[in-house]
Structure 1
Amino acid sequence: MTTAVAAPFRFFSLQVVRTLRLGPSLVRVTFGGDELREFCSDGCDQSLSLFIPAEGRTEPRVPIELGDGWWQAWRELPDDVRAVMRSYTLRALRRDALGRTTEIDIDFVLHGVEPGATTPAGPASRWAARAAAGDRVLLLGPAIADNRAIRFRPPQGTDLTLIWGDETAVPAVSSIVESLPAGTRARVWLEVQHAADIQDLVTEADAEITWFVRDQEGAEGSPMALGTLREAQLPAAERPYVWIAGESSCVKQLRRHFVGERGIDRRSVTFVGYWRQGMTEEQLRAAE
């Protein structure tokens, strides 16, 4: 059975190794498996597609044996059989002495799993909240280290890096910030639901990191950082680079600020809508 899709991406059959609760809204799931030896990525915001079992099942059903025809065949599977697909970013990977990947971490945002939640949890949140060692998943990820699903690419000569992300982008932002070399000037704004979701980020860069907590401010549907950014005196820079990711409408507002109000070259702004308010990933794919 072939697991190839379209180079440089392929399917990896993995299982949960362990989990770690990072805060009220965040849980880290570590995956392992022999097939990870072929997993390659050099990106800080590497995008991945994760397939988890349908409710009540233990194995994710994806007809990967059909090669390039897997996508249409997967969509045609019955709802109670078809594996649930969700998009995530790689938080970290670990390699053995030969440079082969042995484990990867993915951080999940948990929505609606707490008692009394007003919005019911989606299938990925429910799965991640109860994930245990041995649980099986499929991952569609890179077999080539430099691939098109890596978006953080500051141009040569960048002298100021500006980053915004909500809780869905915290894993990518954390990886980016930790990778910045000494001497890099960076200003970072992160938005999370609870104060306990704030994480300590270690970096050699000259990075000023500001966290916004939504349950303290009561802000919904707009980037809490926007007012702060409009008032901020940013360091002078000739070649700034901006990376923005999170809820689509917030990303658009912040992009307009950086390009329209700050005058930053739009070619130096990377913006990614990880999700859209009020829409599931299935609805978002259908709309697109």
Structure 2
Amino acid sequence: MTTTAAPLTIPFRFFDVHVVRTRRLGPSMVRVTFGGPDLGELTAGGRDQRFKLFLPQPHQDAPVLKDRGEGWYTTWRTQDPAERAVMRSYTVRAHRADPAELDVDFALHGAGPAATDTGGPAARWAARAEPGDRVTVLAPVAADNGGVDFRPPPGTDWILITGDETALPAVAGILEWLPPGTRAKVWIEVPHADDRQELPTLADADITWIVREEVPGDHRQPLLDAVRAAELPEGAPYAWIAGEAGTVKALRRHLVREREFERRAVKFTGYWRRGASEEDLIAELTAGTAPSDED
């Protein structure tokens, strides 16, 4: 999940946590459950609640954060990149108070136990995570916080949701949160058929899975193609689209220009960008050179 601009520390706080257990959800996803003495104080807002995850460098047994106050981000930027904690943004998949645990689902991007595997630092860490491994999170302590983006306005008649495997945890959280009977059209793109998951919801949700390994080679943007071909409900929509930045931008353009969605009714987030590492994205953000998502 792409690292974004630093959140305010309040209503967030730092928690030192450790791996309790891991569970493979499919070929491309692993769930890591974290525990910690203070996790009972974490208060997530549900839906697509994001938080900051700090991982140790490969030669460290715990992440190095020299400042945990309001100036943490400035201090983090000035630290030696080879020593400072690896920072990423992830979604709270589930949080329990008794016992105090936090579930986080990681898209593996091909990462596995071998040192030569693909995937970024977070995917490689998650693929090899073991009970007792230590990390730090900057997570909310108030349900109403800026880390929740899914906010349909009053008067919304139905919901449109799209995402790839990186957005699947957020999609699952949104579907769990939707009130009973909410009309929703959902498209989720995953690499393999076994990456499909049960997605509990009380909403009236029409969920379409798009499996990349089953898509003909001439469909380079299967998610966009599926939405373009769909018959959509009448009424005022609210769209939440996330995943690879290029696909997200194309979907937003289609909804606004061709489907005539109101711009403010489309929430869009690029979790990653094809051809760019997360370190590239961090460098762009800190330098102020990240490409605009606006048309």
Tell me whether the two structures share a fold, i.e. TM-score over 0.5: yes
User: Where does 1:169-184 land on structure 2 (aligned, <5 Å)?
Assistant: 169-184=167-182
The Cα of 1:169 is off from its aligned counterpart by 0.3
CA offsets 1:61-113 (integer angstroms, 9 cap, x no match): 01135x223223223333332111111111111124xxxx8111110010232
Q: Which residue of 2 aligns with 1:35?
A: 38
Q: Bigger shift: 114-123 or 141-150?
A: 114-123
Q: Which residue of 2 aligns with 1:85?
A: 87
Alpha-carbon distance in 1 for matches of 2:100, 2:117: 36
Normalising by structure 2, we get a TM-score of 0.88
Q: Bigger shift: 210-219 or 114-123?
A: 114-123
Alpha-carbon distance in 2 for matches of 1:41, 1:120: 31
CA offsets 1:43-63 (integer angstroms, 9 cap, x no match): 310111100110121111011
Q: From the superposition, tell whether residues 262 and 118 of structure 1 become closer, same or farther in structure 2 (CA, over 3 Å).
A: farther
The Cα of 1:117 is off from its aligned counterpart by 11
The Cα of 1:229 is off from its aligned counterpart by 1.7
> Which residue type is aligned with residue 91 of structure 1?
R
- Contact 1:111–1:119 (CA<8 Å) still a contact in 2? no
Point out where structure 2 has 5 or more consecutive residues left out of the alignment.
1-7, 286-295
CA offsets 1:208-267 (integer angstroms, 9 cap, x no match): 100111122266995412222222111212x11100011111111000111111011111
What secondary structure sits across from 1:147 in the alignment? coil
- Contact 1:12–1:35 (CA<8 Å) still a contact in 2? yes
User: Where does 1:1-288 land on structure 2 (aligned, <5 Å)?
Assistant: 6-65=9-68, 67-96=69-98, 102-114=100-112, 120-217=118-215, 223-237=221-235, 239-288=236-285
Alpha-carbon distance in 1 for matches of 2:59, 2:198: 37
Q: From the superposition, tell whether residues 117 and 196 of structure 1 become closer, same or farther in structure 2 (CA, over 3 Å).
A: farther
Number of equivalences? 278
Alpha-carbon distance in 1 for matches of 2:218, 2:124: 23
CA offsets 1:172-227 (integer angstroms, 9 cap, x no match): 00111122222111000000111111101121211110011112226699541222
The Cα of 1:283 is off from its aligned counterpart by 1.1
- Contact 1:29–1:105 (CA<8 Å) still a contact in 2? yes
Q: Which residue of 1 aligns with 2:5?
A: none
Alpha-carbon distance in 2 for matches of 1:164, 1:229: 9
What secondary structure sits across from 1:12 in the alignment? strand
User: Percent identity over the alignment?
Assistant: 55
The Cα of 1:15 is off from its aligned counterpart by 0.7
Alpha-carbon distance in 2 for matches of 1:142, 1:36: 10
What secondary structure sits across from 1:252 in the alignment? helix
Q: From the superposition, tell whether residues 116 and 59 of structure 1 become closer, same or farther in structure 2 (CA, over 3 Å).
A: closer
What secondary structure sits across from 1:86 in the alignment? strand
